[in-house]
Structure formats: C-alpha cells, structure tokens
Amino acid sequence: MSPGILAPIGRPRLMGVVNVTPDSFSDGGRWLESDAAIEHGRELLAEGADILDIGGESTRPGATRPLVEEELERVVPVITALAAEGAVVSVDTMRAEVAEAAVAAGATIVNDVSGGLADERMLAVVADAGVAYVAMHWRAHSDHMADFATYDAPGGVVRAVRDELAQRVDAAVAAGVEADRIVLDPGLGFAKQGEQNWQLLRGLGEVLSLGHPVLVGASRKSFLGALLGDEHGPRPVDQREAANVALTVELARAGVWGIRVHDVRSSHDALSVVHRLHDPRQEGQE
C-alpha cells in the first residue's frame, strides 16, 4: 500500500522549498541559518504546504557541491525541528549519507534529483529506510549538465526522459525500493534547454503513463524568465510567480501528484480555485 502522503487527495500536493544554502538561484542565503530556515518552513506550512522540501546543496546551473559535512550541518537541525512539530519533511539530496541522517531526523521522503545516479548507495539506503522516493531525470552534476542537453533520438526529449526514468524505476525496484513508494520528476531545467522544458511539459502524459505519481518543479526557473523577458534580458527571478501560478493550474488539470514551489500561498490559492470550480458538491455552501 502506498504511503499516505502519496495517496490521491483530489489535487496536487504542494511541496514548499526550504533552501538552506548560500547560493540557490531563487533565494540563496536567505534561509542559510537554521533558525531562519525553520521559521520559513513554518510560514510555508501556514500558507498551505503539504510537504517541506529541505535541501542543503544548490543545484542551480554551474553550482559547485558543498562538502558532505556542510550539507549535513545545514539540513539535519532544520529537519529535526520541523519534523518534531509534525511537518511532512522531504530531504532534497543526492547523497546517501545525508539521506540516512535526514530519515533518522524525521524525513519521510527522499527527493533525489539524480534518481540514484550520483551515489551508488542511495537506492539501498532508501530501500532499507522504507520511505517515499522521488527520482528525478538527471544526466550530470550542475557544473556541466548543460553539456548533456542533447536529445537527438526519435521522440526527442519527451521519449528520452520517459525511457530514462523507466530505467531508474527498474533500478530502484531491483535495489528493494517498493514500486508504490516511487515518485517521478521530469527534471525541468536539468540538462534541458529552454524549448526542451516546454516540450516536456506538453508531453507530460508520457511520464504519467509510467504509472507513478509525478512531481513537477518549474517554480522561478530560467525558462520562465526567458519567456517573460524583454530587451533588458530575462525576467528577474522574483518576478516570475504569475507564470508559475498559470503552470500550477495546468499541472493540476494534467493530474500530477505534486508541484514543488517557492511561493506556496499563490499556488495554494490557484489550486483552491481549480478545486472549487470543478467540485459541484460545494454548491450552495458559501
């Protein structure tokens, strides 16, 4: 049986981002101190987050990796505090050692942007822990992932992402991860050029066809900034939220399990509108 957090609830789950990093593209440094990150997590919960995704490594294009000790020092205190308060916590990490420590601290989801490719121990750790596992489509670390954004085979980026995610599912199941604990993420922006992200969004049904819950993270990403840009360049990171809300509505219609966002309130409001519009059982209750 699927863990409760993966069960359908009639709308996508909202995964609120808590970057405990000095260099994340969206809010680098704002929540680096543990107390600030914990308070930010509480704010996201109050705004309607179902899950808090806590990460200590920036995966922005060109980012370099912190030492494992640094990553542990960033995320474990935050996870410990928020999980103790009852939050559903996901750890955003590619490292098995960090995943182990995070689960011990109270995390119930491991969100691995590498899908198990960056650390050969990750799938075994997840299997032993019995937690939910998000496997994202990934080809290389952030400092050189742009070199791998080539999808020349028939079916292009959509077919490649679907097939490569299917391979990660097979690897996870072979390692002992229960199939009904696996969530898939198409990896928007990771080894993808601008138009490839739009193709993936249009072809999301191919990923959904694999039969696993799907998580999508488009919030504040550069392909939105490029779409909204002008002669002065891409739209700044903090001015892309309206575009992300539009995507939230479309993703809800597509039937995704979860949406990873920075501004929880805006997406929560959008999902409330979609749910009310399509739920006739609430007629006459206002």
How confident is the model over 1-15, as pLDDT tens digits? Answer: 346 899 999 999 999
Per the domain annotation, does 116 fall within a domain?
A: yes
Give the CA angle between residues 175, 179, 182 to the nearest 5°: 95
| Structural domains counted in the chain | 1
- Owning domain of residue 18: 13-278
Measured at the alpha carbon of residue 4, what is the angle toward residues 170 and 85, in degrees to the nearest 5? 120
**What are the backbone angles phi and psi of residue 91, rounded to the nearest 5°?**
-105, 130
Task: Check 13, 221, 235, 240 and give the catalytic one.
Answer: 221
pLDDT tens, residue by residue, 168-227: 999 999 999 999 999 999 999 999 999 999 999 999 999 999 999 999 999 999 999 999
Q: Is residue 5 part of a domain?
A: no
- Check 13, 181, 235, 260 and give the catalytic one: 260
CATH number, domain with residue 117 = 3.20.20.20
Residue 286 within any structural domain of the chain? no
Per the CB < 8 A criterion, the answer to whether 75 and 54 are in contact is: yes
Confidence (pTM): 0.92
What secondary structure letter does DSSP report for 149? -
> Is residue 283, in this structure, part of any structural domain at all?
no
- Averaged pLDDT score across all residues of the chain: 92
Note whether residue 126 is domain-resident. yes
> What whole-number distance in Å separates Cα of residue 22 and Cα of residue 34?
12
221 is a catalytic site residue: yes
